Chain A
């Protein structure tokens, strides 16, 4: 039986188990005046769980081990004696025979796979039957066992609730597993990278050109300092020069000056800015902003200005970050106790004096935390720089020159043709690890600052 029909059969049996157990429970409840801990559907659920879960678990294990068992059996076939020694050819012939046996392909490139195909089909068939039989046996054994326990005094509800709790716990553990998966995969690949390229060369080298890697000294052209600088320059300097004034002033205006009506309209408009996909910003930056920036530079007399300048990418990224800074500033302004504001106004200060001399200094830690979070978001931003920034790594202070970022290089390195093991692709994981660590640190610092500040006023 195929895995799909088998699952459907098991699900059907589970349904039958649910119905029979429920009927039995309804039966013994009828005419009885005793109080039960469980409803009939609890008994039904209990039996259904016992019917389906063990068999499903077995099938999962079986599906992952069965191909190896089949291959093992085929290798004992007399025809398999002619197979070449383990290696690429052998694997190719075996996979060809497998697809022949499964009926996925009709002709074989290799005559040997033609010969092995019947053996494959037979072994596969045999394994399928074993698997189906064991699964069905499990269904009836465990389902029957559960059915015998359906008695008036049996606490089916607490058993089911235990399973539900286990599911809840498992769901929340997925977050930890994901985090560990990120850390482990980045660390593992980076470790392989650093076993080829010295870590010092990578972190402190100032020359980045992964297109030409000298096998004798791969670290020479894999110095990431220009990338770090470009990332910092675009994400933390140019973007913030746009985002901080605009975000802060918008927040001030919306919270302190705007009428509630205007605020109801303006806030969602700002939030739409955050909802626009980054690929749209990237296209806009590349199509409209970058040529405009170049034209401005040329009219200023900078004839060599790049059409993939750091300024274009940074400007658009800054605009993308505005709503983020604005909402963080909004929160911190709202957290300042009203008494401070009222006191200042009562002393005769104008609104703007109150905002500049009282509210903003009081909200400063929160604003700084928000800006740090915004920086962390900006340096992790990918599509804008992929589409609008250049791929050439330069150490420059000139915003009209081209600059590249860590994220752009990760995309460039991994979307080429290179194989998975070359220093070039592994370098992407080392860059990813650096990015992960930096954003993590920024987030931790920012959250600590924000939390401390909130506590100070509570």
Chain B
């Protein structure tokens, strides 16, 4: 535009004078109307900025509310209410001798003794006709454990702390129904009730009774599933990323592979569950609810994530490294496996951990392949029926029993702690090994 006047001067027939512009006085910023206008614009600027800040703060606030709710509900899930139960072994009528319990046949001898009955009758004797209902259904296990630990108890009268029944547990920790609260108050007056760390929650498996339910079975199932996922998704993902980034010829087949990977990354997870149901269970006949099927399904879901992050990491390795290696006589395979892969590995590992964290929190596809069954014992093999931590959370959230509310939240705390640790480790890896070329 700047050379327009000269042009018009050269071209005949075009007026050389610019069209007359009205003389414009400089804006007087001090007039009241201008000042008002500026104030308005600045106010709107501040409003907009506050709006942005509010969006961030509210989002973070939601996260805070979520976490606080879970911790508030779940913290008591790690605690267990116990009742002091006086047990008179000497007059119990148990057909056991201390010598029997010291020998190798202790477990067999204990399993034939009616300790459950003894626990119930002791509770009735101590707390009245309803006493056996104050003790958890699994309370007698504690009595048996105490006996096994110290056979000398058989001739004595002693007090054993046993877990309280579900209703008392709820009443002692927070509000329960009035009857249960009255019992708790009575026990408190006798100093016969206490609270301690709930170790069974970490070592037991699923149960119908919230005082006996634990996450170990689901946790082991998660470990097995993640192991299968990692063993399949990591090698396949890395090899496929290497191929696509380093060797693949630019042709239609390569495009097809890339399109499939990008689409797989965006396919809803439940579709992978349908695939697992139709192919792994239907066609291949693998066992239902097994962690190997869950692992395979999640591996297909995690693989695209690893491929995509792996490709980015490989892309980050500068070409000069490859040229140098080729220059000293390395073959293309040697270039990649001796130089590019080790340099890209931190980035690939970061992506893998993030993908695994996602798989660890995944629920929907595992519901499809039947991992929602009630499993009361931890799986011993990959083909055993199992469940995983998120599915356990889902199953417990469906329970009507109030005692499960805190268990669900406590399981969520465990799951979130693991995810946070994994993500933190990924960030640490990224910061420690990130290279700026």
A interface residues with partner B (beta carbon < 8 Å): 157-158, 161, 164-165, 167-169, 171-176, 178-179, 181-182, 185-186, 188-189, 245-250, 252-254, 256-258, 266, 268-270, 272-273, 275-284, 286-288, 319, 322-323, 350-353, 355-356, 373, 376-377, 379-383, 386-387, 407, 410-411, 414-415, 420, 428-429, 432, 435-436, 439-440, 443, 447
A324 to chain B, nearest CB (A): 11
Interface status of B84 (Cβ within 8 A of chain A): no
Say yes or no: B59 contacts A322, CB within 8 Å: yes
CA distance A113 to B282 in the complex (A): 27
Say yes or no: A168 contacts B240, CB within 8 Å: yes
Say yes or no: A352 contacts B49, CB within 8 Å: yes
Say yes or no: A171 contacts B243, CB within 8 Å: yes
Say yes or no: A270 contacts B45, CB within 8 Å: no
CA distance A279 to B393 in the complex (A): 7
CA distance A181 to B277 in the complex (A): 11
Residue among B62, B279, B282 facing the most chain A CB atoms (10 A cut-off): B62
Chain A residues with Cβ below 8 Å from B423 are 272, 275
Quick one: given A175-B240, A175-B307, are A439 and B363 in contact (CB under 8 Å)?
no
Residue of A nearest to B412 (CB): A280
Quick one: given A352-B48, A382-B363, are A254 and B56 in contact (CB under 8 Å)?
yes
A94 to chain B, nearest CB (A): 15
Chain A residues with Cβ below 8 Å from B235 are 171
Scan B61-76; emit 1 where CB is below 8 A from any A CB, else 0.
Answer: 0110010011001000
CA distance A323 to B423 in the complex (A): 16
| Listed stretches B10-18, B92-100, B258-266; interface member | B258-266
| Listed stretches B164-172, B187-195, B206-214, B268-276; interface member | B268-276
Scan B317-355; emit 1 where CB is below 8 A from any A CB, else 0.
Answer: 000000000000001110001000000000000000000
Say yes or no: B239 contacts A168, CB within 8 Å: yes
Say yes or no: B63 contacts A273, CB within 8 Å: yes
CA distance A257 to B46 in the complex (A): 11
One of A266, A280, A386 near B364 (C-beta < 8 A): A386
Interface status of B157 (Cβ within 8 A of chain A): no
Interface status of B87 (Cβ within 8 A of chain A): no
Quick one: given A278-B363, A319-B62, are A373 and B278 in contact (CB under 8 Å)?
no
CA distance A172 to B303 in the complex (A): 10
Provide 11 A-B residue pairs closer than 8 Å at the C-beta atoms, listed in order of the A residue: A164-B333, A173-B257, A185-B274, A280-B66, A280-B361, A283-B393, A350-B45, A382-B269, A407-B270, A411-B364, A435-B271
Interface status of B41 (Cβ within 8 A of chain A): yes
Say yes or no: A376 contacts B304, CB within 8 Å: no
Residue of B nearest to A446 (CB): B266
Quick one: given A176-B260, A276-B66, A439-B268, are A168 and B394 in contact (CB under 8 Å)?
no
10 tightest CB-CB pairs across the interface, nearest first?
Answer: A380-B268, A277-B361, A253-B52, A249-B55, A171-B239, A352-B48, A185-B278, A382-B364, A172-B240, A168-B243
B414 to chain A, nearest CB (A): 11
Question: A283-B397, A443-B263 are known contacts; what are 20 more A-B pairs with Cβ within 8 Å?
Answer: A158-B331, A161-B332, A171-B235, A172-B248, A176-B260, A179-B263, A186-B278, A246-B58, A248-B55, A249-B55, A250-B55, A273-B59, A276-B66, A352-B49, A382-B268, A382-B270, A387-B394, A387-B397, A410-B368, A439-B268
One of B268, B408, B415, B419 near A435 (C-beta < 8 A): B268
Residue of B nearest to A432 (CB): B274
Say yes or no: A165 contacts B247, CB within 8 Å: yes
CA distance A381 to B361 in the complex (A): 13
Residue among B55, B62, B367, B416 facing the most chain A CB atoms (10 A cut-off): B55
One of A175, A250, A279, A356 near B260 (C-beta < 8 A): A175
Chain B residues with Cβ below 8 Å from A179 are 260, 263-264
- Interface of chain B residues 356 through 396 with chain A (CB within 8 A): 357-358, 360-364, 367-368, 372, 390-391, 393-394
One of B62, B257, B408 near A175 (C-beta < 8 A): B257
Chain A residues with Cβ below 8 Å from B257 are 172-173, 175-176
Residue of A nearest to B396 (CB): A283
Chain A residues with Cβ below 8 Å from B52 are 249-250, 252-253, 256-257
Interface status of B42 (Cβ within 8 A of chain A): yes
Quick one: given A350-B45, A381-B268, A411-B270, are A168 and B262 in contact (CB under 8 Å)?
no
